[in-house]
A and B are shown apart, each in its own frame.
Chain A
């Protein structure tokens, strides 16, 4: 099963990034029988799969690319600003944030008990290089994480090189090279200013 919030996120991603017409086409291609997801319902995971496949087809890019773009969108687009804010609670700088990604699954479940966020495990490979094991029932979740982490690195102003190393031992592996934790100014984040205007779109 897939939580409606995730599907709703994919819907907002497609609509905000490529326009309402593309979203309608993708929804039709994927044989999704409505014009919008109910973010409080649960859907069969096949619905999400079909949606990503249809989007990849329409956009003439790989499924992996679509998933990574979705991850970037989640951490950076104005429509889903609350997601970025909640991610920033992870740490004061990028290193603290990176350390906190193992909590991501637990934190998400604190907010929405049934949501499907990947299990993440971080280990140091060599100085400044970390390996992130991403376990999820959704194949390709590692690509979403890759996009999300890249966007968060920008958000913190860190210089990070990140690659998806494929699948091994039931996990997708990301290699995260933190070349400079404080490279640029990063985006503003005010811990106390929780201006929840419209929720997730």
Chain B
């Protein structure tokens, strides 16, 4: 024998047991297409009836580019990728057929392909049903590991999202009164302008607050501010934005506001609320407030700063007229701007 020529056996003989371990999803068919042997895992797909003796073409729809219904057609695509759809409705299989040496039969090796996860589930397969060389278990491992990690990412993410919105909430809140702060006012105005909703603006400045602070101390002042917040919340609707923008300065944004007269009534009610004496540690604190009101008529072309200036001017008018009152900004139609 020539030492340089590789020794290629003409044919290999395997026992059925060995074949089972190598490819537990094999099918052997004779020249007529009748199944003469089936791997253990293949047999598990058909627990109710033996595969041996059945016709391959009655058990499966075989396809490559076209439908394969005869052994002659199957012989024409030996070694090539085949698709098998079980006629009883199971998951699709893929595989290939090769000739068997010594007779006219064929050997088919099949696999679940990407459908392995569903197949494992519906047939209750275990690690032992796959050859150690088969990567099916690794594929399932990867899918499961990936969902574990996604679930963990989702948990972390929702935690961060919650923390972020809580931090945003804190950043927009005046800690003393729980009302919005100037940042909340700016954000609220930006949003309402972007949505093109009509709104009114009230600018409130407390009267005699400084004397409460001077006479009774800062603790009394803080208590009074908290009471003011309660009054403002009580006099406004749910969708209104109430903010504290300075020591004793407040701005209210009222979307879809009522008419000017009703706005004036709301402002008057606020002032009456502020004037209710506030007891604090045996003393009684008395304040009032001055308000300037700008209505949607004062707002043109998205100029928020101009609108705030209008409310500011009306507030100044209230102060000049002796405080403890609300003033509507004059109708823009009649000039003054």
Contacts and interface: CB of A to CB of B under 8 A. Distances in A.
Given A96-B127, A199-B152, A107 B141 contact: yes
Interface stretch (A45-53, A161-169, A175-183, A187-195): A187-195
Nearest to B148: A82
Nearest to B119: A192
Contacts of A40: 152-153, 156
A199 B154 contact: yes
Contact of B142 (A85, A110, A197): A110
A7 to B, nearest CB: 13
A112 interface: yes
A193 B153 CA distance: 21
A91 interface: yes
A197 B126 CA distance: 22
B15 to A, nearest CB: 22
Interface residues of A, number: 26
A192 B153 CA distance: 23
A91 B155 CA distance: 30
Interface in B144-174: 144-156
A86 interface: yes
B126 A89 contact: no
B148 A111 contact: yes
A128 interface: no
A170 B31 CA distance: 62
Contacts of A160: none
Interface residues of B, number: 27
Contacts of B147: 194, 196
A197 B148 CA distance: 9
A112 B154 CA distance: 15
A201 B155 CA distance: 9
Contacts of A82: 144, 148
Nearest to A88: B127
Contact of B120 (A39, A91, A191): A191
A190 B124 contact: yes
Contacts of A200: 148, 151-152
A92 B146 contact: no
B149 A111 contact: yes
Nearest to B142: A110
B225 interface: no
B184 interface: no
Given A40-B156, A199-B152, A200-B148, A192 B127 contact: no
B140 A199 contact: no
A91 B127 contact: yes
Interface of A: 5, 38-40, 82, 85-86, 89, 91-92, 96, 107, 110-112, 190-194, 196-201
Interface of B: 117, 120-122, 124-128, 137, 140-156
13 contacts: A38-B156, A82-B148, A86-B144, A89-B127, A92-B128, A107-B141, A191-B125, A191-B137, A192-B117, A196-B144, A199-B151, A199-B154, A200-B151
